[in-house]
Each structure stands twice: as C-alpha cells, then as structure tokens.
C-alpha cells in the first residue's frame, strides 16, 4: 500500500495535509497520533470510503479507486455494528460473499476460532459484548484472505488476553507476507508488533521510521541539586531538557554519548551542581511520541 500527498478538508478545517507513506508486504506499520490528528481520515481515504481532495493511493499495485484493488483488503473499522439478527458464522459468510472470494466453511470456522469465538459461532451477534463484537470485526477483516489488512483501534474493547490474541494474529499475518496497517492509541502494543511507525499530528506526518530509527536516540537521566542557569544552559547545549524537580532528562545526540556524558558531568560539577545519579537510558516509544508532539506544539 502506498499513498502520496493525501489531503482532506472538512469545511474550513484541514483534517489531512499532505500525508505520504507506504506499507510493504510482510510489514506491520503503526499509525500513531493524538485525537483528531487525522488517522481515521487517512485510513478512510486509503480504503476509498472518503474522497481525498488531493493525493494518490495505490493498493496492492492498483489505484485505490479501482474496486478490484479492495477485493484483497481486510478492514476493521473503528466503529462497527454487524447485523444483530445474524449469527457470528453468518456474518462471516455474508462478508465472504461480498468480497467475491471462495472460502470454505471450515476455513471460516478456523478464523472464528483464531479470534476466540469458536464457541459462539451459532449465537446471534445482537447478544455479543463489545469485546466479542470487536473480535468478530477482526474475523471479518481476516476471513477473505486479504493481502492488506487495516485495523483501526482493534483492541479498544478487548481485555488483556484479547490484546495478546490480536498481537498473535498480527504477527501471524506478517509471517504470511500480509501488509498490516495498525491504528492504535496503545503505544506499548504498537511498539511490540510494528516494524515501522508513522506519527501524525494535525494532519501531517510529524515523524516516521523504523522503531530503531525513532528510538535510536538515547537520553540521560540525572538527579541533581543546586542547578544554576549556567548549568541548565550547559545541559540544553547537549539536547532537549525536561525537568521535574531534581530529576532532569537530557536527550543525547545519536552515537556521541561516550564523549558527551563524562564531559557534561564534569562541567556540571565544575559549575557547582551536586550530581546524585547519572543513568543513560533508551527512551520508550511513548516518551518519543510525547517528545515529538511537544516539539510540534512548542
């Protein structure tokens, strides 16, 4: 899947402003960003559910407008409700028919089992809990043997075990060479399964890259007493500084920590600062995301 220069306005509000990225076969890409960043709008444009004002979409090598491009795409929407009078098995059969694929009943039953609904296949969907409906939505996204799967908040209603199931499903898809685009606010989840992430903010790509690229940056956690403006300026010269009382975090320039850390500590001591603790750490995706968003909004 590939998109370039996607733009969308709703009235005066620009929801998506020049978004480009791609998801290759066998690759899991996470779409991250705050509420209203444009994630769902991007997904809907990719799938042809919303018409972009500008930009291009290629799905599995065909223009996104081509209905045949969508035959091999599985989609779990953020908000969904299936026909309450149908059983879970009937919902799957309906979606298989809609997709035009030929999927034998036994394979459909396997998909229900994979999302943990084997025991409920004959029950009407109207009586399903939110989490069970979300599991069914995942089964719908998977059942027609898709080559690209787009999951919009797939675990929002799921219990911790259900989240583990989804992680296994996603890793299994990757194993089979399926391209997966995952929109989730659960950053830990994204960090565990995604090869790459695209961070959206106010309709634009604020950052993107492999986890190694985005998290490659290390930072230094310090516990300090007697900070002076000169000492703060010395730390700011190294990288972005965040401070909560005596705890100070300094972003380290990539690959230079061996030289930078001892020099910084020596200078801080020289400036009269009492250094209680020094700990270099690799930042988590969550911290990195918050850092990127803070810079964007500064």
Ligand X SMILES: Nc1ncnc2c1ncn2[C@@H]1O[C@H](COP(=O)(O)OP(=O)(O)OP(=O)(O)O)[C@@H](O)[C@H]1O
What residue ranges bind ligand X (CB under 6 A)?
10, 13, 15, 33, 35-41
Which CA distances in Å does 268 have to 52, 222, 225, 228, 236? 53, 11, 10, 9, 12
Task: Compute the least distance from the CB of residue 39 to ligand X, in Å.
Answer: 3
Q: Which is nearer to ligand X, 120 or 196 (CB)?
A: 196
Pull the structure tokens for residue 147. 């080559």
Shortest approach of ligand X to residue 42 CB, angstroms? 7
Strand partners, 59: 62
Q: Per DSSP, which regions of 191-240 are E strands?
A: 196-201, 204-210, 218-225
In whole angstroms, give the CA distance from residue 98 to residue 94: 6
Q: Which is nearer to ligand X, 31 or 88 (CB)?
A: 31
Compare residues 75 and 218 and give the one whose CB is closer to ligand X: 75
Closest separation between CB of residue 15 and ligand X, Å? 3
Please report how close the Cβ of residue 228 comes to ligand X at its closest, in angstroms.
Answer: 42
Q: Which is nearer to ligand X, 7 or 243 (CB)?
A: 7
Q: Which two three-digit tokens encode residue 71? A: 């035959």
Q: Are 74 and 144 in contact (CB under 8 A)?
A: yes
Which of residues 4 and 14 has its CB atom nearest to ligand X in the complex? 14
Find where tokens 């394979």 sit.
Answer: 107
Least Å distance between CB 10 and ligand X? 3
Identify the bridge partners of residue 220 per DSSP, sorted by sequence position.
250, 280
Q: Is 37 or 149 the residue whose CB approaches ligand X more closely? A: 37
CB of 281 to ligand X, least distance (A): 28
Which of 40/134 has CB closer to ligand X?
40
Cα separation, 236 vs 238, in Å, equals: 5
Is 57 exposed, middle or buried (CB count within 10 Å of its CB: 0-12, 13-18, 19+)? buried
Q: How far is the CB of 133 from ligand X (least distance, A)?
A: 18
Are the C-beta atoms of residues 138 and 91 closer than 8 Å to each other? no
Using alpha carbons, list the distances in angstroms from residue 204 to 13, 20, 21, 72, 129. 13, 9, 11, 28, 36
């Amino acid at each position: 899947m590939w998109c370039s220069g996607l733009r969308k306005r709703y009235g005066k509000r620009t929801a998506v402003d020049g978004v480009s990225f791609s998801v290759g076969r066998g690759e899991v890409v996470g779409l991250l960003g705050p509420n209203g960043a444009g994630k769902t709008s991007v997904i809907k444009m990719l799938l042809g559910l919303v018409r972009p004002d500008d930009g291009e979409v290629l799905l599995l090598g065909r223009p996104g407008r081509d209905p045949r491009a969508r035959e091999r795409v599985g989609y779990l929407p953020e908000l969904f409700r299936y026909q309450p009078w149908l059983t879970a098995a009937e919902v799957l059969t309906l979606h298989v028919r809609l997709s035009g694929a030929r999927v034998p009943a036994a394979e459909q039953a396997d998909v229900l089992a994979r999302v943990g609904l084997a025991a409920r296949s004959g029950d009407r969907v109207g009586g399903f809990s939110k989490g069970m409906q979300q599991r069914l939505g995942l089964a719908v996204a998977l059942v027609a043997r898709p080559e690209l799967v787009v999951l919009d908040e797939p675990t929002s209603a799921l219990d911790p075990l259900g989240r583990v199931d989804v992680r296994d499903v996603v890793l299994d898809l990757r194993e089979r060479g399926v391209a997966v685009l995952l929109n989730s606010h659960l950053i830990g989840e994204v960090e565990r399964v995604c090869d790459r992430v695209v961070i959206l903010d106010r309709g634009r790509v604020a950052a993107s890259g492999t986890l190694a690229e985005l998290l490659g940056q290390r930072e230094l956690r310090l516990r300090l007493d007697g900070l002076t403006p000169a000492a703060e300026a010395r730390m700011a010269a190294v990288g972005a500084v965040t401070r909560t009382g005596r705890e100070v975090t300094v972003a380290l320039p990539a690959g230079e920590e061996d030289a930078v850390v001892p020099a910084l500590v020596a200078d801080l001591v020289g400036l009269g600062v009492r250094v209680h603790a020094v700990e270099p750490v690799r930042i988590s995706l969550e911290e990195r995301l918050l850092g990127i968003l803070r810079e964007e909004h500064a």
